Chains A and B, each alone.
Chain A
Amino acid sequence: DAGVIQSPRHEVTEMGQEVTLRCKPISGHNSLFWYRQTMMRGLELLIYFNNNVPIDDSGMPEDRFSAKMPNASFSTLKIQPSEPRDSAVYFCASSLGGGTYGYTFGSGTRLTVV
């Protein structure tokens, strides 16, 4: 298995632009998680899907952030409009059984908003 695949690996964009991050979870995993990592706040959960349905989006910072999971093999996290304070590493992770057995993380997308 190729693991959790995220794209792009790096993204540099100007403030106000739309940014779309992509994730392909491990085949057969039914839970998908989007995390954001910064030096100040560490790893923070943004949103969590179970069987393609959003279960908990309480970590989504504001309306500028949205996430979708149209099918079991693909998810997107969109930021519109982007702001410099959104600069961070965004990780996608997937698991079987809602996370109780741990997650497998992707390599992350490093987002820089200038």
Chain B
Amino acid sequence: EDQVTQSPEALRLQEGESSSLNCSYTVSGLRGLFWYRQDPGKGPEFLFTLYSAGEEKEKERLKATLTKKESFLHITAPKPEDSATYLCAVIGSSNTGKLIFGQGTTLQVKP
């Protein structure tokens, strides 16, 4: 069964304090790994898609990386507006388009 585990559940950072969020996955035939950001009261917002081990994507202070077992979302010099829940999800070859989500990491960045 495809599974996604995110850690930590919650993370508090000071503004400017860089850190990483982890997403471990087990999936048969990874077709894509996705990172989403979710603000309170809103739907998840797409950030990145990674398709193969070794791939990296960047957007402003965020950088996503992928290995055969896990993905990291690196946050460099975060600002308070980066506070949100970050969700990781995978699509496997046996799931025909279904995104399987992790429980998320709730990030709080204090000024």
A residues near B (Cβ < 8 Å) are: 4, 31, 33, 42-43, 45, 48, 50, 55-56, 91, 93, 95, 98-108
Check B91–A100 contact: CB distance below 8 A: yes
Q: Which of B15-23, B44-52, B60-68, B73-81 forms part of the interface with chain A?
A: B44-52
Closest to A95 in B: B97
Check A50–B45 contact: CB distance below 8 A: no
Check B32–A45 contact: CB distance below 8 A: no
What are 19 A-B contacts with C-beta separation under 8 Å? Answer: A4-B43, A33-B98, A33-B99, A42-B101, A43-B89, A45-B100, A48-B97, A55-B97, A56-B96, A99-B97, A99-B99, A100-B32, A100-B97, A102-B32, A102-B49, A104-B46, A106-B43, A107-B41, A108-B43
The distance in angstroms between the C-alpha atoms of A45 and B89, with both chains bound, is 12
B86 at the interface (CB under 8 A from A): no
Instruction: List chain A residues, Cβ under 8 A from B31.
Output: 100
Check A98–B97 contact: CB distance below 8 A: yes
Q: In the complex, what's the smallest C-beta–C-beta distance from B7 to chain A, in angstroms?
A: 14
The distance in angstroms between the C-alpha atoms of A56 and B100, with both chains bound, is 13
Interface residues of B in 87-111 (CB under 8 A from A): 87, 89, 91, 96-104
Closest to A43 in B: B101
Within the complex, which residue of B43, B96, B104 is in contact with A107, where a contact is CB–CB below 8 Å? B43
Check A108–B42 contact: CB distance below 8 A: yes
Q: In the complex, what's the smallest C-beta–C-beta distance from B48 to chain A, in angstroms?
A: 9
